[in-house]
Amino acid sequence: MSDRLAGKRVLVTGAASGIGAACVERFAAEGAAVAGIDLVTRPTDSAAEVWRQASVADSSAIGVAVDEVVDGLAGLDVVVNAAGVLSVGDAETLDEAEWDRVIGVNLKGTWLVSKFSSPHMRTGGSIVNLASIEGLIGFSGQTAYNVSKGGVVLLTRNMAADLGPRGIRVNCLCPGLIDTPMTSVLQDPAFAALRDQFIEWHLLGRSGKPSEVAAAALFLASDDASFVHGEALVVDGGLTAGRRFSALD
């Protein structure tokens, strides 16, 4: 590791597992002091120095948690909004409560954490939001998730316009299929055909690892990305790049 974040103070939401946990580990390894927020208690192997339990969708709870993180870290330089939930359901049959749950965590939660964090940040700060390729293109049967992640992409761009004059950069990541606890349902044999099709769409022919997304988040958070702002960086093994004709092999 290269200490690319030495002296930086970082908040990661969804920090207990998946991409969030990978960000905690990678950022700490690069010299940052890291705080985590999640619904669950701090995993015993987490590198987070400060930990708070809170729902990102709960305005009162997350506001207090962010303030406590800032106190614990003595400031804040980087925020990674990695908290998220998955959902299945098309526009006709989706339950209203499920819509509210997904939008509440994925979109409202990203906004709330950023809203409460940004006043503590100064020039050189960076916010990295986790969107998805499903926020860029539509997928059948995942209406609420698609809409929530599409909202994160546009929220990122609006925040870039709002916070750029203060020298705070805002970007988002759009991962493809990443092997995390959230996507583990696709390991069920009942979903084998769906998983195979999804993986086939990735031109690299495989799903991604949380560490690969964390590496992209590290770039956006670091000074190496000092002129990257308002960007939706795709990390999808080529899924959105195009389609390959296997019949030509």
Q: Name the residues annotated as catalytic.
A: 145
What Rg, from alpha-carbon coordinates, does the chain have? 18
| Separation of alpha carbons 166 and 3, rounded Å | 25
Q: What share of the chain is helix, strand, coil (3-state, %, to 5)?
A: 50, 15, 35
What residues have CB less than 8 Å from 96, skipping those under 6 apart? none
Sheet with strand 50-53: strands edge to edge: 50-53, 33-38, 9-13, 78-81, 126-130, 169-175, 232-235
The pair of three-digit structure tokens given for residue 55, joined into one six-digit string: 């729902």
Q: How far is CA 170 from CA 24, 52, 81, 104, 221, in A?
A: 19, 23, 11, 20, 9
